[in-house]
Amino acid sequence: MKKMYLCFAVFVLAMAFGPSFLNPYWVDVLNNIGIYAILALSLNFILGHAGMFHMGHAAFFAVGAYVTAILNTMYHIPIVWLMPLSGIAAALFAAIVARPIIHLRGDYLLIVTIGIVEIVRIALVNDIFGVTGGANGIFGIGRPEFFGMKIRRPHQFYYYIWIFLGISVLLFRMLENSRFGRALNCIKEDELAAEGCGINTAHYKLIAFVLGAFWAGMVGNIYASKMMIISPESFSFWESVLYFTIVILGGSGSIPGVILGAFLIVGLPEVFRQFASARMLIFGAAMVIMMIFRPSGILPPLPRTYKLAKENRGGSES
């Protein structure tokens, strides 16, 4: 346990002061790692804790980004004010699409969620309601502003993104250890047994789905303000595959594993950019090897332990 806390402290210090020694390009790489890590954490809550095979997470990311872009460019609402609204919009969309499919399991749910992300992408390309900009997307999105200071440079965005990542880790950790998180764990391990214990599995899974979408929508707000331009190609099915891979590779249900997975999936391709033609071959081979030798991921979650309280009535044992 002490080693774990020591490693965590070293990691925090390295991430806090490391960017001071890096050029803007590598700081921007760390920014992308942070964005993917937050998205993967929100997916991990659905996939890793509730056990739902969901590969349409980019759809909720897109909803949050487009709500931010449309309201900011058309009505000039500050970006920071739009963050919770982006999350609510994504959560409402998730509640609408998830309600009729939440009873599906395994591969069936996976296929349906793939369809959802493709429907959203095609709707954006076709300029739904005339506000999405079609294939060209939306330009001129504003920057976040705090106390009169706009966040512009990669180093400024770095602390904005990674502080939000730290908040996400704390909140998801609290949810994981809550009664709600324990119920989700029961559903993941054995849904029939969970129903037999009185857990409303459809209700819990729907809430997990909506919470994960809410967080993805808020990340869409950060992404839109960072890029200042968004288009449907930024929210393709391939993006959902990357989030899914990060969770599975790092360790489904493990917060440290998900963050490590983001470093590997997003960071390593930049390190080996000179081997661009062989990157996907190397990536595919690494995934096959991992699934053979570490099917639970690089850093799988530790087994849950529960303390049983002993009843002591009148100081005597019967």
Q: What is the pLDDT of residues 85-100, one digit of tens each?
A: 999 999 999 999 999 9
What digits encode the pLDDT tens for the residues 234-274?
A: 999 989 989 998 999 899 999 999 999 999 889 888 877 77
Average pLDDT estimate for 191-209: 91
- Distance in angstroms between the alpha carbons of the first and the last residue of the chain: 37
Q: Does residue 42 contact residue 218 with C-beta atoms inside 8 Å?
A: no
Q: Residue 315's pLDDT band (boundaries 50, 70, 90)?
A: very low
> Both tokens of residue 243?
């989030």
Kindly report which listed range (103-117, 184-198, 303-317) carries the lowest average pLDDT score.
303-317
Contact assessment for residue 304 and residue 185, using Cβ atoms and an 8 Å cutoff: yes
- Does residue 33 carry a pLDDT above 90? yes
CATH of the domain at 192: 1.10.3470
- For residue 315, tell me if it sits in a domain: no
Which residue type occupies 152? R
Tokens (6 digits) for 71:
């309201």
**CA dihedral of 60, 64, 65, 67, whole degrees rounded to 10:** 130
pLDDT score recorded for residue 224: 96
Confidence at residue 145, expressed as pLDDT on a 0 to 100 scale: 92
Scan for tokens 């349409």, then name that residue.
56
77: which 2 tokens? Answer: 């609402």
In a domain, 5, yes or no: no
User: Is the model's pLDDT at 307 over the cut of 80?
Assistant: no
Q: How much of the chain, in percent, has pLDDT values that exceed 90?
A: 62
Query: Which domain range does residue 115 map to?
Result: 26-293
Decide if 9 is inside a domain: no
In a domain, 305, yes or no: no
pLDDT, residue 14, reads 86
Helix (H) or strand (E) segment spanning residue 146: strand 145-146
Number of domains in the chain: 1
Residues contacting 309, CB < 8 A, separation 6+: none
Is there a domain that residue 313 lies in? no
Residue 298 lies in a domain: no
| Cβ–Cβ under 8 Å, residues 51 and 106 | no
Residue 264 domain-assigned (yes or no): yes
CA distances from 107 to 71, 120, 123, 207, 245 (A): 36, 20, 25, 20, 16
Q: Residue 149 belongs to what H/E stretch? A: strand 149-150
For the whole model, what pTM was predicted? Answer: 0.91
- Predicted confidence at residue 158, as pLDDT, reads 95
